[in-house]
Amino acid sequence: MKYKTNPVFPKGFFWGASSSAWQVEGATLEGGRTSAIIDLNSQTKKPYADNSIAADHYHHYKEDVQLMKECGFTSYRFSISWSRLIPKSDRKVNKEGATFYDNLINALVDAGITPIITLYHYDMPCWVEEKYGGWSSREIIEEFDYYCRTCFKLYGDKVKYWLSINEQNMQIVYGDWLGVSKGCKNWEKDKWDINHIMNLCHAKAVIACHEMVVDGKIGPVPGYVPIYPYSCNPLDQIAAMNAEELTQKIWNDTYVFGKYNTFIKNYWQAHEITPDIREEDLKLMERARIDFIAVNCYRSDVAKDPDPSYVQLIGLNKSGIKGDFTYPNIPGEYALTRNPFVEVTDWDWHIDGVCMRYSLRYLWDHYHLPMIITEAGYGAHEELNEYGTVNDVERIHYLRDYIYNVGLAIQDGVDVFGFNPWSFTDLLSTGNGMAKRYGLVFVNTTDNEVRDLKRYKKQSYYWYSRLIRSNGTDW
Ligand code: BGP
C-alpha cells in the first residue's frame, strides 16, 4: 500500500523516552531506599552490571529533565522504585523517597513534559521477597495494592498516565533471566501460579487507579515481539501462532478480556498444570478494564515448525557478539530462527522497522484499544569521540524507520498516542550494563571504571529533537 504523503502524527502526540528506576537512578542505598533483589543480582552476578551508580539520575535528575526539555520532549516514562517509596515491611512511606519522585514530577510538569509512570519494573524489594517470597505468595497482592494506592495518593493529582507491571510476559518467559523463578522447585508449573498472582496485582492496580485518580488512565506494558512464519508452509504458520500465544497473546487477551483464553486452558490441561485460580479472582480480573496498551517493541521473531527429534531451549546473547544467540526448538510448539530479510544488532536482535507497523496493526485488530509505544531502541557498544559526541547513525536509522512505521500504522487507522523509545540517557541494560547503550544522551561511565557521569548529546539527540519539533515531519 502506498501513501501520497509522509505519515502525519496527531496533534498532542507524546514524544519522549523511557527508563526504569533500577536501571537509571543509582543511589541504591541513599535517601532511605533499601535493596531490591535485582540490585543484589546486579552487584554480584555477571553479566549483570553493578546498579549502585547506574546513570546516577538520582543526583542528575534536574539536568536530565532540562536536557529533555531542550530536546522538545512532551512525555517521559519512568518507574517508581517500590523500596525507595516503602523501604520496609512496616508500610511507612519514606519521606525522602516520596520527595524525590515529587521533585522529578514537578520538574517534568514545569518543563511541559507529561509524566507516565510504571508502577513495577523488575525491582522486587528484598523485604517483600523475605516476607512473602515475592510473587510466589498471594499475600503480595494486598501489599502491592497498598504500594499502588500510595503512589496514586501521592502523585495522582499530577500524573494521569499509569502503567502496571513492565513486561509480565517476559518475566514469565525468561524467569531465570529476570529473577522471578528464584526459589521455584518446578518452574514450568509454578510459573503459572506466579503469573496468576501478577495478573491479580495488575487487576488491583487498574481498579485502584480508576478509583483514586481523577481522569486517570492505566494500561499494562507487554514486551511485544511479533512472530512471522518462516515460510508459507502452513505448519510454519501454526508454529508462529503457537509462539505468539505462548510468549504474548495469552497475556494480552487476559489484560483486555479479563479472563484466560481457551488456548492456555487447553495447554494447562495437556501439561497437567492446575494453577490456583479462584472464582473471586476471575471476578476481580473481569472488573479491571484497561484504558490503553503500552507497547514495548524492539524486534520481531520468526517461527517455523519444530523438529520433533530434539529440545533446544532459548539462549540469550549475553556477550554482544553477533551469532551468540541460540534459537529454541520446542517439539509440539514452535522453533525460532534467523530472519534472512533483516539485519541484527550485536545482540542478535532483528532490526525491523516494519514490525512496529505490524505489531500496532495486529494489536489494534485484536483489541481495539489506544496504544502508546513505551519502548523500542537500538542497543550498541559506544564510546565518546574526540568531538565530545557519539555519531550513532545506526540508532538514527533505527529510530527513523520505527517511527516512520508508527506513522504508517496511524495512517492505516490505528490509534497511537505516543512514542517513548528506550532510553533518554544511557542506562544499565538488563544483561550488559553500560556495555550495551541505548541512550540519546551519552553518560560518561563504564562498567569497569566509574567516570565523571557527565552527559553528552549523541547525534541521535539532535535528530530526534528536530523530528519532535516538526511533529514527525522533519526526517
Ligand atoms: C525491555 C525492558 C527494559 C530494557 C530493554 C532492553 O525488555 O523493559 O528494562 O532493559 O528491554 O533490554 P536489554 O537491557 O536487555 O538490552
Residue 191 lies in a domain: yes
449 part of the active site:
no
Q: Nearest-CA neighbor of 319 among 378, 383, 381?
A: 381
CB-ligand 1 contact for 348 (6 Å cutoff): no
- ipTM of this complex: 0.98
Residue 417 lies in a domain: yes
Residue 282 lies in a domain: yes
Q: How far is the CA of 90 from the centre of ligand 1 (A)?
A: 31
Q: Given strand 334-337, what is the order of strands in its sheet?
A: 227-229, 301-304, 334-337, 329-330
Residue 305 lies in a domain: no
Q: How far is the CA of 430 from the centre of ligand 1 (A)?
A: 6
Q: Report the CATH number at residue 377.
A: 3.20.20.80
For residue 127, what are the domain limits?
Answer: 14-227+242-299+344-469
- Give the count of alpha carbons within 13 A of 267, CB side only: 16
| Backbone φ and ψ of 250, nearest 5° | -65, -25
Query: How much is the pTM?
Result: 0.96
The pLDDT score that the predictor gives to residue 181 is 86
The pLDDT score that the predictor gives to residue 327 is 96
What are 302's strand-pairing partners?
228, 337
Catalytic residue among 25, 245, 375, 382: 375
CB-ligand 1 contact for 179 (6 Å cutoff): no
Q: Nearest-CA neighbor of 248 among 368, 256, 124?
A: 256
The pLDDT score that the predictor gives to residue 47 is 54
CB-ligand 1 contact for 166 (6 Å cutoff): yes
Q: What residues in the chain have per-residue pLDDT under 70? A: 1-5, 43-48
The pLDDT score that the predictor gives to residue 129 is 94
Residue 440 lies in a domain: yes
Rounded Cα gap, residues 280 and 214, in angstroms: 27
Residue 6 lies in a domain: no
Residue 338 lies in a domain: no
CB-ligand 1 contact for 222 (6 Å cutoff): no
Rounded Cα gap, residues 358 and 356, in angstroms: 5
375 part of the active site:
yes
Give every CB contact of residue 194 below 8 A, 6+ residues apart in sequence: 135, 136, 172, 175, 180, 184
Residue 21 lies in a domain: yes
Rounded Cα gap, residues 212 and 186, in angstroms: 38
Q: How far is the CA of 208 from the centre of ligand 1 (A)?
A: 27
Q: How many domains does the chain have?
A: 1
The pLDDT score that the predictor gives to residue 182 is 81
